[in-house]
Amino acid sequence: MVEVKADVAIIGGSGLYALLESASTVTSVVDTPYGETSSPITVADVGGVRVAFLARHGLSHELPPHRVPYRANAWALHSIGVRRVLAPCAVGSLHAEVGPGSLVVPDQLVDWTRGRLQSFHDSYEHGPVHAEFADPYCAEGRRAALDAASSAGWDAVDGGAMVVVEGPRFSTRTESRFFAAQGWLLVNMTGHPEAVLARELGICYSSIALVTDLDAGVIAGQGVSADEAMAEFARSTDRLRRVLLDAVVRLPAGECPHCPVPPPMSVPT
């Protein structure tokens, strides 16, 4: 791996496979103790901030949600010095009033995945470890994202719970209506375990969700179409890119006083 350093990382989701057009440093796919990363890591200067970019699903969207190497991605970013992550993602809305094209900065997460490795702590060498996760997203990162969206004329929704499902299939109507009945706002396939792995590494993590569709329980007809969802994301990609780059420079420098200190961790060999 090329010796690079970055302060902030953006993990691009569906439809966002490149971000930093003036990148000065590109690593190859990084081999970590947890396997290879999803993609090479691109690093560039954005307003005086060293920013890394990694494509969550790979450069050609070859990795489905349940096959993303979440631990490798988080470990690699941490190893180059990243302490803050902005994580854009495509989501379905569980409520008609938040329609396609809406931007949401969620404040809560619900894990509805099945069987994903969601911790670096495969043993209790230093005693029992239970990451603090009551508030999964960084308050400073959320504020930077909301302010950047407002500056771009995008009236982002402040808050809401995002339920993360296993995928790659979409929800049934009954599942979708159940999620909505719990008061949850969004449904997504990749936000977990990404967020909790960042927490274990002491990385402040903030999700920025672009609504691409109304979920199956909200609409009549055939339900969600992958092609329609990707087309909606494509329509907003340039605007989302501007919001992300603006949010980067709005992030406070230095340590975050809000996110919990991570528990001690053994470094695998």
Angle formed by the axes of helices 191-200 and 70-79, to 10°? 40
User: Distance (Å, rounded) from C-alpha 19 to C-alpha 9?
Assistant: 11
Structure-token pair, residue 110: 């619900």
Specify whether the CB–CB gap between 249 and 144 falls below 8 A.
no
Q: What is the largest CA-CA distance in the chain?
A: 53
Neighbours of 14 (CB within 10 A): 24
Residues designated catalytic: 213, 215
162 forms beta bridges with 109, 186
Distance CA 71, CA 265 (A): 14
